[in-house]
Chains A and B, each alone.
With several copies, the nearest count.
Chain A
């Protein structure tokens, strides 16, 4: 395993210390492992809190700041945070208007955030939860764990964060989060496996000419293996897979996220974006806004994911609203 770390068990602590040093505008509680805004809101507003396993940077800590998250609680690598930690994040972020928890749909996250929500409610903090489940690689069914939450988390967090800044009530912010999640679908392809520091070796071995199709962001293998093919074909397959599970029609507008999984350089992501845009154009779908880069990663995994969120004027307005976080900033 080749990593710039001190030791597998200190990766998170060390990374958080570095994050704290790099971002003085944020408060990082190294004991509780909670990242929050240094500036408290002038008036009470819905506090948007998210978290999950580490290894997906900049998610979630990189999205804490005006216009997006109020606090984030990073768990161990690929392991959801514990309830106490989520509670601590909710407490520090709470400014009197309730807390919205943005949770990616994984059993561990769901259970730990649920226990945390109970604890918070016991303390008289009003809590609502938005579950993000956008990954079409996983069949949705009540008999399974359901679809995974991946790239759409960024779109959901940006949208609810912007609405919360406009001091909308908790119910409204939660409802928006559910709408944006429902309007989002994602799919990922990996060229290499991620290496969890504690495991010390790649989660799966992939021959030099093979890729994992429908891979997860926790090194979970995909649903099948294929030959590596030109970016044009891979992009087309990903677009078609996402659209097959999406109620998008010609003429619709989308927010498109071409997301790197951590080990793929930007030049390749732009190649992919070009092919994605071309394919969507063929299908009569317009990209109203886009992001190209590493936003929801899987440690050092090489590959990309595509997230398409159906856009409407209200969502675009929220998307364009000012944001000032380590990983996303515009005005």
Chain B
């Protein structure tokens, strides 16, 4: 991944968030407080000009900027969580380009950061339930000879990650929430897809889209 691709990825996430904003809010109304869509929309609407103003020297600079912007604009649970994840990814990618393997490690670092901050484990019906399988699928697909060559099957890894994230998000429907607002519903949280896991699926689908 190089800097232009990183920028394209983020812009695609922003576009996807706009497209899916209503649905995200709808999901959050069912088991949360009905603002996940507007929260992310507010965040990425601020991210775009922030990136335009930026002359990034590295892939990481792009992702770090996304993280800090989300943290200082979103609020709610998703702001610090996504923000910390992108900041952590940014730290991992100091170069002008990143190999697919390096990107995989960055995605893993992002997962570690949001797990550390939010304390959620897989199965708690959160962002983690989409992000964790996505990272696993990405690394599995990326992990083979040739991966050290920058563009090496990034498309394949991204596609695998996107499918895994989407799958993980859908799988949250069956779960009872143990973290976040949905946990207040106890058993009533079962049967609804988690908004945050759903937006995470958008993040990975965006990566697949721009790398395809």
Contact = CB atoms under 8 A, between A and B. Distances in A.
Direct contact of A and B (CB under 8 A): yes
B11 interface: no
Interface in A47-68: 53
Given A83-B80, A111-B81, A219-B33, A76 B75 contact: yes
B42 A107 contact: no
Interface stretch (B1-9, B100-108, B166-174, B182-190): B182-190
Given A111-B77, A112-B75, A112-B79, A198 B180 contact: no
Given A115-B71, A143-B178, A79 B35 contact: yes
Q: Per DSSP, are chain A's interface residues mostly helix, strand or loop, or mixed?
A: loop
Q: Per DSSP, are chain B's interface residues mostly helix, strand or loop, or mixed?
A: helix
B73 A106 contact: no
A220 B181 contact: yes
Interface in B163-212: 178-181, 183-186, 188
Interface string A85-118: 1000000000000000000001110011011000
Contacts, number: 117
A115 to B, nearest CB: 6
A108 B179 contact: no
B139 interface: no
Interface in B21-49: 25, 29-35, 37-39, 42
A223 B178 contact: no
23 contacts: A76-B39, A76-B75, A78-B33, A79-B39, A79-B75, A82-B73, A82-B79, A83-B80, A107-B180, A108-B79, A108-B80, A111-B77, A111-B117, A144-B179, A145-B178, A145-B179, A196-B34, A196-B35, A203-B33, A219-B33, A219-B34, A220-B185, A224-B188
Interface of A: 53, 75-85, 106-108, 111-112, 114-115, 137-139, 143-145, 148, 196, 198-199, 203-204, 216, 218-221, 223-224
